[in-house]
């Protein structure tokens, strides 16, 4: 387990930021611009998530994000900017770039 893998207690969207409240008492945030899939999602899609330990999974978006990603300032890879269905086709055809 990474020192950054801290369990997430809650997730929220504030203005143009994604905010995680962590089990160790910290609150961390990152600009939504770091995660275009979430930034371009509908409000319903943004709120359709499940937290499991240090990971958040957005069901309809087929997107995962962990506390360690937010803590390290990691940005979404360009491969994931396209919808999950299109991404699956591109991966099958070998027509994607990271």
User: How do residues 37-72 score in pLDDT, each as one tens digit?
Assistant: 999 889 999 999 999 999 999 998 889 999 999 999
The reported pLDDT for the residue numbered 98 is 45
Q: Which residue has the higher pLDDT, 79 or 45?
A: 45
- The mean pLDDT value for 5-21 works out to 95
The total of other beta-carbon atoms located within 10 Å of residue 37's CB is 21
The reported pLDDT for the residue numbered 48 is 96
45 Cβ contact list (under 8 Å, min separation 6): 58, 60, 61
Burial bucket for residue 29 (CB in 10 Å: 0-12, 13-18, 19+): middle
Q: Which domains does the chain have, with CATH numbers?
A: 8-93 (3.30.2020.40)
Measured between alpha carbons, how far is 3 from 80 in angstroms, rounded to an integer?
26
CA angle 22–40–66, rounded 5-degree value: 25
The reported pLDDT for the residue numbered 82 is 63
């Amino acid at each position: 387990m990474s020192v950054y893998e801290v369990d997430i207690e809650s997730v929220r969207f504030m203005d143009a930021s994604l905010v995680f409240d962590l089990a160790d008492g910290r609150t961390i945030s990152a600009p939504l611009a770091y995660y275009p899939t979430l930034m371009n999602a509908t409000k319903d899609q943004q709120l359709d998530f499940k937290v499991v330990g240090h990971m958040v999974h957005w069901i309809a978006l087929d997107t995962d994000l962990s506390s360690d990603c937010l803590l390290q300032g990691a940005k979404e890879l360009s491969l994931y900017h396209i919808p999950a269905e299109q991404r699956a086709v591109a991966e099958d055809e070998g027509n994607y770039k990271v």
